Amino acid sequence: MRIRAITVAGAGLLLVAGTVGAAGIAGCGGPEGKRARTAGDNAALGKRAQQRRAPAPPPPRKIDCVRVKCVSLTFDDGPSPYTARLLDTLKAGGARATFFMLGENVQAYPDVVRRMAIEGHEVANHSWSHPDLTTESPAEVRSQIQRTQQAIKTASGVAPTLMRPPYGATNAQVGRAIGMPLILWSVDTLDWRHRSVSRHTKVGVKEPAGGGIVLFHDIHKPSVDAIPKVVDGLKKRGFTLVTVSELFQGQPLQPGQTYTERIQKTEPVTAPAAPSGGTGPSGGTPGSGGTPGGGDTPPSGGTGPR
Ligand code: NI
């Protein structure tokens, strides 16, 4: 695309320079190396230098969440003006998190999204504009997903592999249209309702169990304000804070299925014994019903332990 822009700005000679790429422009000889640089060249050089400087996102860490006590903090509906501060907190605490983002907000904060990826967080899809997808046509669902995928990829260089439907509202048709694993949660902090730092801290530290997924929203200031103590408290309880993909390492996630937590096959040292039963795919059952609750409430029949 960038090469086309150069050829439009210039003539045949520039076409040669444009297609040679960075090496040609850097001066590998030839007639095009002698000519004066144009504004278009400088812009292209600047972009390339920027790309060279930007570090690549690190790969997921190898953490065995079957044996290690893991929890995933997830943040929905952003990015927002508070998200950069949240990234500072997570960095200071050595924690990784997952961000389920709205495409329309990704467009507004592309640098924050880029930083998430570089710092090892998971960038994930939460639709473009937060509709209840169970009331939309499959074509509109696909559009909501694909536009957001593109926005996140453009901002961060990374294409999400996970999706969280707004309100946790899904059904079989929505699952098929989305075509990605659907990640819900095992702990709903209800931070959108209460807006209390002390309450968020208490819930965020005390409620998660091993393999859990905790729902916060980084569009609310009290939520972001609570995270330093949530991270500290969870670490003191022996948790490793991982992305959702890290949480499910070794357990392949299926497109269109919903997951609320990772069911641990062997209990970590400090966790209580799991309830009996354990049938069905570990990590949640496929979307049941998919009736949206008020606010961000998982579909009825939630399989979470609390
Ligand atoms: Ni949401």
Instruction: Express each pLDDT in 26-72 by its tens digit.
Output: 323 333 334 455 555 655 555 555 555 667 888 878 999 999 999 99
Q: Is the pLDDT of residue 224 over 80?
A: yes
Q: Where residue 9 falls among pLDDT bands split at 50, 70, 90?
A: very low
Nearest to 259 by CA among 132, 95, 124, 146: 124
Ligand 1 centroid to 145 CA: how many Å?
Answer: 14
Q: Is the pLDDT of residue 285 over 50?
A: no
Look at 29 and 255; give whichever has higher pLDDT: 255
Which whole number is the average pLDDT over 82-105? 98
From the list 121, 126, 200, 217, the catalytic residue is 217
User: Which distant-in-sequence residues (6+ apart) come within 8 Å of 154 by Cβ?
Assistant: 110
- Report how far residue 77's alpha carbon sits from residue 291's, in angstroms, rounded to the nearest whole number: 20
Nearest to 262 by CA among 98, 69, 59: 69
Ligand 1 centroid to 166 CA: how many Å?
Answer: 5
Nearest to 98 by CA among 214, 232, 269, 221: 214
Per-residue confidence (pLDDT) for residue 16, from 0 to 100? 31
Q: Is the pLDDT of residue 282 over 50?
A: no
Ligand 1 centroid to 92 CA: how many Å?
Answer: 26
Its pTM surpasses 0.85: no
Ligand 1 centroid to 74 CA: how many Å?
Answer: 11
Of the candidate ranges 48-57, 197-206, 273-282, the one whose mean pLDDT is the lowest: 273-282
Whose tokens are 């569009």? That residue is: 219
Which whole number is the average pLDDT over 4-18? 33
Nearest to 131 by CA among 114, 143, 119: 143
All domains of the chain, ordered by start, with CATH?
A: 15-53 (no CATH), 70-259 (3.20.20.370)
* Helix H or strand E segment including 191: helix 191-194
Tens-place pLDDT, residues 138-149: 999 999 999 999
From the list 41, 76, 191, 225, the catalytic residue is 76
Asked if 76 is an active-site residue, the reply is yes
Ligand 1 centroid to 279 CA: how many Å?
Answer: 29
Ligand 1 centroid to 8 CA: how many Å?
Answer: 42
Q: Is the pLDDT of residue 295 over 90?
A: no
User: Which distant-in-sequence residues (6+ apart) come within 8 Å of 73 by Cβ?
Assistant: 95, 97, 98, 204, 214, 216, 227, 230, 231, 241
